[in-house]
Structure 1
Amino acid sequence: MNDDHMVQGPPVTDKRAVVLAIIALLLCLVAVLGNGFITTVLGREWLLRRTLLPCDKLLVSLAASRFCLQWVVLCKNIYILLHPAVFPYSPVLLFLAFQWDFLNAVTLWLSTWLSVFYCVKIATFTHPVFLWLKRKLSGLVPWMLLSSVWFSSLSTILFFIGNQRIYQNYLRNSLPPWNVTGNSIRRSYEKFYLFPLKMVTWTVPTAFFLICMALLITSLGRHMKNSLLTISGFQEPSAQAHIKALLALISFAIFFISYFLSLVLSATCVLPSRALRFWVWQAVIYLCAAVHPVVLIFSNARLRAVLVRYCSSRCGASC
Structure 2
Amino acid sequence: MLTGLDIIFLLLSIAGFTTGMLGNMFIVLVNCSGWLKNQHISLSDILFTCLAISRVTQLLVLFFESVTVVIPSHFISTYKLVKPVSFLWRITNHWTTWLATCLSIFYLLKIAHFSHSLFFWLKWRINKVVLVILGFSLFFLISDFVLLEEFTDLFLNVYVTNKSNLTLYTDESRTLCLEIMLFLSLTCLFPIVLSLASLFLLFLSLVRHIRNLQLNSMGSRDSSTEAHKRAIKMIMSFFFLFIANFFSTEMSYWIFLIFPMNTFSKYAMLAIYIFPSVHSLLLIRGNSKLRQTALKVLWHSEN
Of 136, 145, 168 in structure 2, the residue corresponding to residue 157 of structure 1 is 145
Matched, 1:119 2:105: no
Change (3 A) 1:168 1:254: closer
Encode CA deviations 1:66-108: one digit per residue, 9 max, x unaligned.
Answer: 111011101101211234999x981122221111011111112
TM-score (norm 2): 0.81
- State the Cα distance separating 1:297 from its structure 2 match: 0.8
Greater Cα shift, 71-80 or 215-224: 215-224
8 A contact 1:31–1:289 mirrored in 2 = yes
Q: Contact 1:27 / 1:290 at 8 angstroms: preserved in 2?
A: yes
Quick one: structure 1 residues 294 and 227, their matched pair in 2 at CA, closer, same or farther if it must change by over 3 Å? farther
Within the alignment, does 1:256 sit opposite 2:242 as a pair? yes
Q: Any gaps of 5 or more consecutive residues in structure 1?
A: 1-10
Q: What's the counterpart of residue 95 of structure 2?
A: 106
Corresponding position of 2:281: 294
**28-37 vs 176-185, which deviates more?**
176-185
Question: Matched residues, percent identical?
Answer: 25
Letter in 2 for 1:266: S
- Tell me the secondary structure at the aligned position of residue 115 of structure 2: coil
Give me the TM-score of the superposition, normalised by structure 1.
0.77
Preserved CA contact (<8 Å) 1:94 1:163: no
Bigger relative contact order, structure 1 or 2 (CA pairs below 8 A, ≥6 apart): 1
Deviation at 1:259, TM superposition (A): 1.6
Cα RMSD after superposing both structures: 3.6
Query: Which of the residues 44, 52, 55 maps onto 1:66?
Result: 55
Instruction: Map residues 1-319 of structure 1 onto 2, 5 A cutoff.
Output: 13=3, 15=5, 18-19=7-8, 22-46=11-35, 49=38, 51-83=40-72, 90-148=79-137, 150-151=138-139, 153-166=141-154, 169-170=157-158, 174-176=161-163, 178-182=165-169, 184=171, 186-192=173-179, 194-224=180-210, 236=222, 238-269=224-255, 272=259, 274=262, 276=264, 279=267, 281-316=268-303
Q: Secondary structure at the match of 1:124?
A: coil
Q: Does the 8 Å CA contact 1:73/1:100 hold for their aligned counterparts? A: yes
**What does the per-residue CA deviation read over 1:128-186, in whole Å, with 9 as the maximum and x for residues that have no partner?**
211211111124434444554x3464134314421453266459x94225422235454
Structure 2: distance between partners of 1:222 and 1:21: 50
Question: How far apart are residue 232 of structure 1 and its match?
Answer: 5.9
Measured in 2, the distance between the counterparts of 1:305 and 1:108 equals 26
Contact 1:227 1:239 in 2 (8 A): no
